[in-house]
Amino acid sequence: MKTPLYLDNHATTRMDPRVLDAMLPYFTEHFGNAASRNHEFGWAAEQAVDKARKQIADLIGASPREIVFTSGATESDNLAIKGVAEMYAEKGNHIITAATEHKAVLDTCKKLEKHGYRVTYLPVLADGLVDLDMLREAITDKTILVSIMYANNEIGVIQPVAEIGRLCREKGVLFHTDGVQAIGKVPVNVETDIIDIMSITAHKMYGPKGVGALYVRRRNPRVQLTAQMDGGGHERGMRSGTLNVPGIVGLGEACAICHREMATEMPRLQALRDRLKTKLEAGLDELYLNGSWEHRLPNNLNMSFAYVEGESLLMGISDIAVSSGSACTSATLEPSYVLKALGLGDDIAHSSIRFGIGRFNTEEEIDYVAARLIEVVTKLRELSPLYEMAKEGIDLSKVQWAHD
Amino acid sequence: MAYSEKVLDHYNNPRNVGSLDKKSANVGTGMVGAPECGDVMKLQIQVNEENGIIEDAKFKTFGCGSAIASSSLATEWLKGKTVDEALAIRNTDIVNELSLPPVKIHCSVLAEDAIKAAISDYRAKQTTKTAAEQTVA
């Protein structure tokens, strides 16, 4: 076993060597511009892009013509939300999203608010799920778009996407979902999930960074987007810019591998994740699971280790890459807004660790991670005045803390 | 974020972890910070009542590595000092010793606050004790 160990697969994933192999010829050999229609270099590139388009479409139950290539999910989210807002401005100015969305969605919505759009940020239930009744009530005749992520990047909670899609279809509102954490991990199908627009990225599914796509439904209904990048009119006018052919080939191959292997990979990752949870619970008391257990990505575990601050915990397991919802690990010094949206106290958010298990993790690694965590949490609790107080029977929520 | 060697040393081998009897007249306890802010420090001093010298210091900290290191260092510095000398410890001394980055300066401020709170608790106890003795006399 080689350290450091990587269990931060919601942040990014190691590229699958098979993906790299597929990409390599497109740097130095087939380097043509996919928009060059009049020579072989261009044709080879275009052919590769067409193949990738099909591989992506096959994974999500779409048609290849519904795939628009972008630089990644942030751009896809921007294009989806701003593109709909601009295109359907005459129909309405209201957008609905949720408090636990990725910043690429939230900040895009905030930007639109400055331009006169109205945005509803739905709260979530304690398990992280959107309340469908609340969503139904939030939809007005001015609503043009609902943007709710498929699965959350911190707590792995999977939203009732098909129900949201059905509700949107019924109300004649477009439905965008940020699918980056779910695609390739769990079955995602734009038909059965009733999705109109979906953001995709390669680097969360063992593909390269810097390439993504947007699924844009072509029929029932036909979705139109105002381009946010002007230029040569690539991607049916929705996203100009010379296509990143090697990246696109990588995204396609990554999708093909996920599609082929999901049936075996999903239960394997889930078994590793469950093993980690069971071991941690056997070795430590006062652990809290953040987010729904039932509606959750098979490779996600997000737990709070009460009375221990997240950054100090990360420091103790410096040979293991995970992330924390602690304020100290963020640039803003604010604890995770996702965990706070679940109604958790800041102290629990400060104590949280997110584990993202991936294709290359092994059982041996999981056992090592569990053992290290138990060791470090035990040590830090001996150091924690809060643990001492709790053991003395003091109710920490009733203590008057000296704030400065 | 990379930690300085001294922060890592204090984190890996924290000095003077533990608790003193907070009811004892010659023990001062300072508890600063709040769980929702991600930092709580408990710092205790035990003062020799004959000569006013801090003969023992203990801490427990809930917080990041820099907070743990700041309080661990504080207990090291407190031992052997008089209460007045201890009051002269500044957070900037801790920042310099541990090479804390700007984003971690609040950890050193908290440690200074904890020292002051412990001393103030000790002094309050001494005043009460003196007053009680005078009443008895």
Residue to mutate among A286, A353, A401, with most B CBs inside 10 A, is: A401
Least confident among A186-190, A193-197, A394-398, B119-123: A394-398
Q: Read off the pLDDT band of A122 (50, 70, 90).
A: very high
Contacts of A69 (CB under 8 A, 6+ apart): A49, A211, A212, A213, A235, A239, A243, A244, A248, A251
Residues of A in contact with B34 (CB under 8 A): 401-403
The pLDDT of B86-105, averaged and rounded, is: 95
| Distance from the A401 Cα atom to the nearest Cα atom in chain B, whole angstroms | 5
Which one from A109, A168, A258, A328 is the annotated catalytic residue? A328
| Distance from the B127 Cα atom to the nearest Cα atom in chain A, whole angstroms | 22
Provide the pLDDT for residue A120.
98
pLDDT in tens, A385-404: 999 999 999 988 888 887 54
Provide the pLDDT for residue A330.
58
Residues of A in contact with B71 (CB under 8 A): none
* Spatial distance between the Cα atoms of A64 and A69, rounded to a whole number of angstroms: 11
Q: Answer whether residue A233 shows pLDDT above 60.
A: yes
Residues of A in contact with B41 (CB under 8 A): 385
Q: Read off the pLDDT band of B27 (50, 70, 90).
A: very high
Q: Is B19 on the interface with A (CB under 8 A)?
A: yes
Number of Cβ within 10 Å of residue B113's Cβ equals 19
pLDDT in tens, A110-120: 999 999 999 99
Provide the pLDDT for residue A183.
98
Q: State both tokens at B10.
A: 């204090």
ipTM: 0.91
Q: Do A385 and B31 touch (CB under 8 A)?
A: yes
pLDDT in tens, A200-228: 999 999 999 999 999 999 999 999 999 99
Q: Is B22 on the interface with A (CB under 8 A)?
A: no
Q: Read off the pLDDT band of A328 (50, 70, 90).
A: low
Provide the pLDDT for residue B1.
60
Provide the pLDDT for residue A220.
94
Q: Active-site positions of B?
A: 37, 107
pLDDT in tens, A338-360: 999 999 888 888 899 999 999 99
Residue contacts between A and B (CB atoms, under 8 Å) = 82
Dihedrals phi, psi of A356, to nearest 5 degrees: -120, 105
> Nearest CB to A401: which of B3, B33, B68?
B33
Q: What string of DSSP letters covers A91-133?
A: T--EEEEETTS-HHHHHHHHHHHHTT-EEEEE-B-TTS-B-HH
Residue to mutate among B1, B13, B64, with most A CBs inside 10 A, is: B64
Q: Do A346 and B36 touch (CB under 8 A)?
A: yes
The pLDDT of A188-194, averaged and rounded, is: 98
Q: Answer whether residue A140 shows pLDDT above 80.
A: yes
Compare B129 and A293 and report the one with higher pLDDT: A293
In chain B, which among 37-76 make CB contacts under 8 A with chain A?
Answer: 37-42, 60-65, 67-68
Q: Read off the pLDDT band of B133 (50, 70, 90).
A: confident
Q: Is A328 a catalytic residue?
A: yes
Average pLDDT along chain B:
93
Q: Do B38 and A316 touch (CB under 8 A)?
A: no
pLDDT in tens, A8-33: 999 999 999 999 999 999 999 999 99
pLDDT in tens, A267-277: 999 999 999 99
DSSP secondary-structure letter at A304?
Answer: E
Q: Do B17 and A316 touch (CB under 8 A)?
A: no
CB A118 within 8 A of CB A143: no
Q: Answer whether residue B57 shows pLDDT above 90.
A: yes
Residues of B in contact with A386 (CB under 8 A): 35, 40, 62
Provide the pLDDT for residue B137.
60
B4: Cα separation from own chain's centroid: 21
| Distance from the A94 Cα atom to the nearest Cα atom in chain B, whole angstroms | 35
Q: Which positions in chain A have a beta carbon within 8 angstroms of at least one beta carbon in chain B?
A: 307-309, 311-312, 315-316, 326-328, 333, 335, 345-347, 350, 382-388, 396, 401-404
Average pLDDT along chain A:
95
Least confident among A135-149, A328-342, A376-390: A328-342
Residues of B in contact with A396 (CB under 8 A): 35
| SS3 (DSSP) at B27 | strand
* Spatial distance between the Cα atoms of A371 and A284, rounded to a whole number of angstroms: 10
Please write down the long-range contacts of A121-125, taking CB distance under 8 Å and 24 or more positions apart: A121/A97, A122/A96, A122/A97, A122/A98, A122/A148, A123/A98, A123/A99, A123/A341, A124/A98, A124/A99, A124/A100, A124/A341, A124/A342
Q: Which residue of B has its CA nearest to A381?
A: B62
pTM of the predicted model as reported, rounded to 2 decimal places: 0.92
Q: What string of DSSP letters covers B53-100?
A: BEEEEEEEEES-HHHHHHHHHHHHHHTT-BHHHHHT--HHHHHHHHT-
pLDDT in tens, A46-99: 999 999 999 999 999 999 999 999 999 999 999 999 999 999 999 999 999 999
Q: E strands along A202-299, which residues? A: 212-216, 287-289
Residue to mutate among B11, B36, B58, with most A CBs inside 10 A, is: B36
CB B120 within 8 A of CB B128: no
**Nearest alpha-carbon partner for A10 in A132, A151, A113, A138:** A151
| Distance from the B37 Cα atom to the nearest Cα atom in chain A, whole angstroms | 7
First to last CA, chain B: 60
